[in-house]
Amino acid sequence: MVRNINLFLFEMKEGFFIALQSIRANKARSFLTMLGIVIGISSVVSMSTAIKGIDNSFQKGISSLGTDVLYLDKWAWFSNVEFWKLRNRKKITMEQYEKFKSLAVLPLAVAPVTNSRQTVKFENSSVENIFLNGSNSDYVKTTNFTFDMGRFYNDIESKASREVAVIGSEISKKLFPRGDALDKTIKIGGISYRIVGVLSEQGSFILGSFNPDNQVFIPIGTIFKHFAGDMFSTITINIRAQSPALVQETKIEAEGVMRKVRGLSAEEENDFSINQQEGLMDNYNKVVGVIQIAGLFITGLSLFVGAIGIMNIMFVSVKERTKEIGVRKAIGAKRRAILGQFLMESATICLMGGLVGLVIAVLLSLVINRFMPTSIQVSAVFTAIGISLLTGVLAGLAPAYTAAKMDPVDALRYE
Amino acid sequence: MTENIINIEHIAKVYTIGDVKVHALSDVSLRIDKNEYVAIMGPSGSGKSTLMNMLGCLDTPSSGVYDFKARNVSLMTDNDLAAIRNKEIGFVFQTFNLLSRSDALHNVELPLIYAGIGSSERKERAKQALISVGLEDRIHHKPNELSGGQRQRVAIARALVTNPAIILADEPTGNLDSKTGEEIMLLFHEIHKKGNTVILVTHEEYIAKHAARIVRLKDGLIEKDELVPNRYIPNITAAVSENQTD
């Protein structure tokens, strides 16, 4: 048994040695063959790091929505109902919010939210297209906000509709590179606001234009006061359950309470929607799952083409070395040894190609990282090595088998 | 009582090429004992090569019995045959058949690799084999850096390194000039004197005369099996001095 293992190791070592020799002897050919694997592995690895990067960033971003928060809205995030039906729903008003808040007993916090796209200015610099949110002081209780500086506006400021603002980390970075945003006065739509708090970074939300770090919060009364108009005619009610376990009950209660507030009779359908992160997550997973499969399939194809190149060159190599195979068999190489020799050769070519491909993928992902988030995984490195070895073995199998089953007499006679 | 190595009884080999059956060997019986020096002769088409492939366990007979050291080779699998070739048979070919990318030492080591012998023992034995054929100063040369005679010596060292039961040489001087050929024949003479069994396959009467016994084949049958009365013993002193001027 030990002897057999030893023999196997010798043969492997000999195979590796022969592989290096033959790669060295056919440099140009080996290089071109390897190129297929280099391209295959680098595209598969780049693709998977990109997908992982998007995924990580999305997960981080979506976690800012909170798993225990419900969003009671006129609009549904995902629905099969026709758009016009949703549009014809009655708006949700502040009065309805107040009624809802007094009737619902399960939520930890309930806050009205409305928003608008605005430009925020400080002295000569500005950030365009930010989310300007109006809410009350309860809003912070529906989130997991942490603050780099300051605080959320309080109940008094909120009720009095003062010109105070809480800004997201990205806005702070852009307008106040020195990190001295607190108590500064910014202008939004010509009105001045005093910054009372700066939020900590929450992570970018890559899909879609929503970026949780690119928001400004002001009291809801203030937003109504300065940005009156139709676009603020409906509000969203953010409802936070006491715990993730109570989300479902809270949702059921919220539905009942809202039906009452909206005065719906028993046979009428809901004229509002209760949205939650879960739905978003499901949809995201569906979309990304498709991207993932399609992406890996396409990049996998390039690896497959590379593998065909390897197989082709291995057939050539076997043919060329027919006589050598005959000699090796004559002096006692068993089928297994010949098989191992050629498998080793194709695995070595693939492994070298795989390692080069990996280096290229890492460099590539560093470049891509400037435009979109990527994430190089240690597992991707091992997967790449594993895949290239596997490709080598699979691509080498048919040629190596051809070599192994050659008749020694014919092989020796071959010129 | 001499030890029997090869015992062939009524073997035949039939190849089917298309619809035609070719009898390469019709009915051959042969016995070779330890430390014999046998030449197998015959014109092309006589079945000489087929018999050699059979003796070398590269091929199995279509019918008949082949016992190698009392083991029935006719029924062996490919892997068993490979093991016999590895341990019991040392091949020397007309075209040397060395691995061109490997140096002399690695070429000689090769059978030991397939025998699963550890690196240090392997290198030592290969080195000794190269020394025994007079190539101690060519150990790390590649075949293309060696002369024809030297290449054949490497091949002989490779054949000897496993201490095989037989040395099977197929036209070993066919690609060499007569002087170098003579040196190689001297080497075989010495190998035989040390107690090895040597089987020489040739079509040259002159080369065959070096052996103690000649088996003549014709049309797949043994035509004659005779001892050589005036065996040609290579001129050792002449050959050695030639070797030194080489």
Residue pLDDT, tens place only, A157-175: 999 999 999 999 989 999 9
10 Å Cβ neighbour count for A285? 13
- Pairing mode of beta strands B166-170, B89-92: parallel
CA-nearest of A411, A279, A268, A281 to A338 is A411
Please tell me whether residue A191 adopts helix, strand or coil conformation. Answer: strand
**Quick one: which of B89, B40, B53 has its CA closest to B200?**
B40
Question: Are the CB atoms for A53 and A373 separated by under 8 Å?
Answer: yes
**Side-chain-side CA neighbours of residue B39 (13 Å):** 26
Closest CA to A325 of A251, A261, A414, A245: A414
The residue to which tokens 């990205």 are assigned: A170
Q: What is the pLDDT of residue B1?
A: 57
Average confidence (pLDDT) over A267-294: 83
Residue at token pair 């996998």 = A300
Alpha-carbon distance of A144 to A203, in angstroms, equals 13
The dihedral sign for the CA sequence A342, A343, A346, A351: negative
Look up residue B118 and give its two tokens: 């550890």
Encoded tokens for A134: 């109006």
CB of B104 within 8 A of CB of B141?
Answer: yes
Cα(A377)–Cα(A51) distance, rounded to whole angstroms? Answer: 11
Show the 3-state SS of B180-234: HHHHHHHHHHHHHHCCCEEEEEECCHHHHCCCCEEEEEECCEEEEEEECCCCCCC
Report whether pLDDT(A26) > 70.
yes
Residue of B79, B101, B110 lying closest to A334 (CB–CB): B79
Does residue A211 have a pLDDT over 80? no
Give the chain B residue nearest A411 (alpha carbons): B58
Q: Per CB distance under 8 Å, which residues of A are interface residues toward B?
A: 3-4, 6-7, 10-11, 14, 21-22, 25, 323-324, 326-337, 407-409, 412
pLDDT of residue A78: 76
Burial class (CB in 10 A: 0-12, 13-18, 19+), B57: buried
Q: Which of B150, B192, B148, B197 is nearest to B174 (CA)?
A: B148
Residue B227: φ, ψ to 5°: -80, 150
- What pairing do the DSSP bridges indicate for beta strands B63-68 and B4-17? antiparallel
Neighbours of A94 (CB within 10 A): 14
pLDDT of residue A282: 78
Please give the average pLDDT of every successive group of 10 residues along chain B, which has 246 residues: 88 89 92 95 90 93 93 90 95 93 94 90 95 94 95 96 95 92 93 94 92 94 92 66 43
* CB contact B232 to A (< 8 Å): no
Residue A2 has pLDDT above 80, yes or no: no
What is the side-by-side strand order in the sheet with B166-170?
B71-72, B63-68, B4-17, B20-33, B221-227, B213-218, B37-41, B197-202, B166-170, B89-92
The alpha carbon of residue A4 is apart from the nearest alpha carbon of chain B, in Å, by 8
Burial class (CB in 10 A: 0-12, 13-18, 19+), B40: buried
pLDDT of residue B107: 95
CA separation for the pair A170, A204 (Å, rounded): 10
Rounded Cα distance, A247 and A276, in Å: 10
* Per-residue model confidence (pLDDT) at position B164: 95
- B180 vs chain A: nearest CA distance in angstroms? 23
Quick one: what percent of chain A has pLDDT higher than 70?
A: 94
Chain A residues within 8 A of B91 when measuring between CB atoms: 330-331
Mode of pairing for the β-strands spanning B197-202 and B213-218: unpaired
Nearest CA in chain B to A15: B113
pLDDT of residue B246: 42
B79 contacts A332? CB cut-off 8 A: no
Segment holding B21, helix H or strand E: strand B20-33
**Pairing mode, if any, of strands B37-41 and B63-68?**
unpaired
Report the C-alpha gap between A219 and A240 in whole angstroms.
19
Nearest to A408 by CA among B217, B89, B243, B38: B89
Angstrom distance (rounded) from CA B113 to CA A11: 7
Q: What sign does the dihedral A45-A50-A53-A59 (CA atoms) show? A: negative
Please answer yes or no on whether A330 and B87 come within 8 Å at the CB atom: no
**Chains A, B: CB contacts under 8 A, how many?**
69
The answer to whether the beta carbons of residues B53 and B81 sit under 8 Å apart is no
Q: What is the DSSP letter of A146?
A: -
Spatial separation of the C-alpha atoms in residues A342 and A321, rounded to whole Å: 11
Residue B132: Cβ within 10 Å count: 18
- The structural domains of chain B, ordered by start, are 34-59+78-245 (3.40.50.300)
pLDDT in tens, A306-349: 999 999 999 999 999 999 999 999 999 999 999 999 999 999 99
| Residue entry with tokens 């995201």 | A284
Pick left, alpha or beta for residue A364 (phi over 0 → left; psi -120 to 50 → alpha; otherwise beta). Answer: alpha
Helix (H, G, I), strand (E, B) or coil at B38: strand
Report residue B178 CA to chain centroid gap: 19
A1 pLDDT above the threshold of 70: no
Contact yes or no for A332 and B53 at CB 8 A: no
For B61, the 3-state DSSP assignment is: coil
Distance CA B194, CA B90 (A): 15
Mean pLDDT of chain A: 86
Write phi, then psi, for B237 (nearest 5 degrees). -65, -40
Question: Is residue A397 over pLDDT 90?
Answer: yes
Which of A326, A332, A412 shows the shortest C-beta gap to B111? Answer: A332
Average pLDDT over residues A185-196: 92
Distances (CA, A) of A88 to A27, A254, A276: 72, 21, 22
The DSSP 8-state label assigned to residue A263 in this structure reads: T
The encoded tokens of residue A271 equal 């004229």
CB A314, CB A306: distance < 8 Å: no
What pLDDT is stored for residue A51 in this prediction? 81
More confident residue, B92 or A205: B92
Using CA atoms of A76, A78, A83, A89 in order, give the dihedral in degrees to the nearest 10.
-20
Tokens describing residue A116: 């608008």
Query: What single-letter amino acid sits at A257?
Result: V
Region of residue B48 (left: phi > 0; alpha: psi -120 to 50; beta: else) = alpha
Q: Which two tokens stand for residue A405?
A: 């089953």
Q: How far is A335 from chain B (nearest CA, A)?
A: 7
User: How many Å apart are CA B184 and CA B200, to the nearest integer?
Assistant: 12
Q: Which residues in chain B are contacts of A3 at CB distance < 8 A?
A: 116
Task: Determine the distance in angstroms separating the CA of A404 from the nearest CA of chain B, rounded to an integer.
Answer: 11
Query: Using CA of residue B210, residue B214, residue B215, residue B217, what is the dihedral sign?
Result: positive
